[in-house]
Structure 1
Amino acid sequence: MVPVIIALIHVGHGAAELGLAGDLQNRTARQIICVENQEYPHNGFCCKNCEAGTYVKEKCSRDQEKGICSPCEKGTYAEHPTGMEQCLQCSQCHRDQIVVAECTSTSNTKCECKPGTFCLLDEPCEVCKKCAKCKADEEEVSHCSATSNTKCRRRNSPPTEGPTDNPSASNNTNTIAIVITILFLLIFIPLGIIFRYKRRQRQLSSMLKILFYSLSEEEQENSRNAGLEREEGQRPESRPLLTQETQETGTKSIPVEDEDRGLGDSLPNTTSSSQTSLSPLPPAVYNKESPQSSPPAPRQAEMVTEPWAGDDGPPRRLIPVLGEEESLSKSFDLFDSLDVRYHNKFFRSIGVSDNAIKVAETQQPMDKVYDLLRVWMQKEGLRANINTLLQALLDLDQRYSAEHITSKAVERGYYKYE
C-alpha cells in the first residue's frame, strides 16, 4: 500500500512540472504585450517604468514590479517615465540660436533663433532664416518672431485672403482697362506714324530746295563767267601786255633786268609770307608725339594702388574687429553683390551640398545667399573665415565682387587689414 502511495505522489509531481513547463512555453511562444509608456518587457514579463528624471539602473525580477531607478546624471534628461537604461543627452543650441531654458533632469535645452531670424514650428530648425522686410509700398501686419516671418500687405488695401466680395466689379474693371488700352493703341500709334511721315517729308523737301538752289547758283555763275570770257576776247586789253607795248612803242621793249627790278619790291614780301605759312608748328605741339615723352596713361596706372590684392602677391588677409562669428555674420549681407549666375558655382566651391542649394532656390536671391552662407558657417564651425570666401571668389574670376566686399567690410568696421 505504501509503495502505491509513493508512486502516486511522484506521478503528481511530474504532472505539475509538466503543467508549469507548458505554461511557460506557451507564454514565451505568444508575444508579451506591456502597457505603453508605463511598462517595459523583461524575461517574459512586464516591469514598471522609472519616473521622469530617472533611468533603470537594474531591471525587476518579477512581473509588475519596478526595478532599481537612479537619477539622471548632469547633462542628461528624461522627460517622461522610461524603461531605458540611460538618460538622453541634453541638446546644444546652434550658433545662430540663443538658450531660452537650460537643460534639467526632466526637460531638454530650449533654444530659439536670435532676433532678426526665425524658424517655423512645423519645420526642423537646421538654420535660422533671415526675417523679411516690407517693401516701400507695403505696411507691416505682424512683426517677425522666433517662430514666424514678417507679414506684410500693400498700403491702403485690404488683405488678399479669400475671394473678392464682388466678382462682377473686378470683371468690369478689367474690361475697362482692356478697352482703354485698345483705344490708346488705335489713336496714338496712327498719330505717331503720321507725325514721322510728315517730318520725313519736310526733311526731304528741305534737301531738295537746298539742292535746287545750289544748282541754280552754279548755273548762274557759269553763265556769268562765259559772258565775261566773250567780252574779254573782244576787248583789246585782253591781248598780251607785251604785244600791246610792242605795238605802242615800236621796237622799244623793256629789258629783262628792268622787269626783275620792277618785281623786286614784291618778291621779299611774297617769300616771307610763304615761309610764314609753311613754317613748322612750335615744338610744344609735337611733344605728345615725341619718342622721349612718356604717355600719360602709364603714369596714371602707376599712381593707382591696390589696397587689398596686388598683381604680384597674394591678397591681404582680413582680421575680425567684432569677433570672428559676429564680424562674419554681419558681412553676409555684403555678398548680395555677387553675380546671380555664379551663385551655385560659388557655394559648391566652398562645400555647400547640392541639396541645400536646391532647397534655397525657392527663396529670393538675397535670402538665398544669406541662408546658404549660414549653412556653410554651421558646417565649417570654428574654421569659418571670410578669407576663405574671398579666395573662392578669386578662384572664380570674380575679382570685382571680392574687392567690393572687402572694401565694404573694412569701411563698416567689421574687419581690418592684417
Structure 2
Amino acid sequence: MGTYLANDSFKCLPCKKDEYPEYPNDFPKCLGCRTCREDQVEVSPCIPTRNTQCACKNGTFCLPDHPCEMCQKCQTRCPKGQVRIAPCTQHSDLQCGPPLDISFSFSTGIITIIVVVVVLVFLLVFSWCCCRHYCAGGGRGLSRKPSAVVQNRLLQRMGIQDNNCNEQIFLNQQQQQQLLTAAQGSEVPRGVEMEEVAPRTSNPNVETQKKLVPVPGKDPLTVLSSSFNTFVEFVPFPEWRRFGRALGLRENNLYQAEQNDRGSGEPLYQMLNMWFNKEGSKASVNTLLETLSQMSLSGVADLIASKLVRNGYFQYEVS
C-alpha cells in the first residue's frame, strides 16, 4: 500500500504527494487524490494509503445508492399534518410521516379481536346445533357420522373461499411475471427521461448499437476519458461490479475501486480509469457500449451514446 511498480526497475516505489493506492497492486503509477467539491467538506485528507474523504455540508445530503453530482438541500420542516421521523443526515433527507394515533390503533385492535371471537363462537354454536339436529333424526347407530359430516361441510365452505383467494393470488402473480418479462431488456435507470437514440433493429443477430467516432479535431483518448462521467451517471449502481468484471478487471481492482465514496460515483469512475490504463491506445468507447449491451443493458448503452453525441464528444459513424 502507498507504492507503485516502476516499469524500468520493477521495484515498488512510494507515491508522490497527492497520490495514493489503498491496497497492494502492480500499477505503473499511483492514483490521483480527489479534491472535495465546493458543496462538500473534507472529512479526512488524502494520504498515501487512502483517498480524500469528502461529505456533504450540514443541511445537505446525497443518497448513498446514487451518483452524487451535487449535494441536495435538506427540507427544513415537515409538511402540514406530518411529524419528523428522522433528521437530515449526510446521506438522507429529513424523514416525515403522519402522526401515530395510539388510541385509534388500540381501539381498532380491540374491535378486531372482538369480531374474531364472535365469529368463532358463532361457528361453534352452528356446528353444535347441526350435529344435534342430525343425531336426533338419524338414530343411535349414526351418532358418530353427523360430527364428521358437519365438519366436512364447514371445511368445504371455508375451502371454497380459500381456493378463490389462492386462485386470485396466482393470477396476479402470473400477470406480474408477464409484465416483468415484457419489460426486460428495455428498463432504464430511475429518474432518466426517454431520449432520442440511435435506430435499432429487431433481429437479434444484427448489431444494434451504432459505432461512435470522436468529433473531428478532438483527441480520441481525451474525449474517451471525458465520457466516463456519463457512464457513471447512467450505469445502475448494482451493475458496477459486473460491468468491471466484463471489462476484464481483476477482483483486487474492483475491491480497491469500491473503497471510494459510492454516493459520488467514484468507484465506477476508478474502474473505468483502471480499464483505460490497462487497454492504453486500444481503449474505445464502443467497447464500453458493447459490453453494456452484452450485459442486457442495451437501453442504458443507447442513452449514454445519445448524450455523448449531444455533448459534442462523439458522432455516429457514417457507414
Q: TM-score, length-normalised on structure 1? A: 0.34
Q: TM-score, length-normalised on structure 2? A: 0.44
For CA contacts below 8 A with separation 6 or more, give which structure has more relative contact order. 2
Rg larger in structure: 1
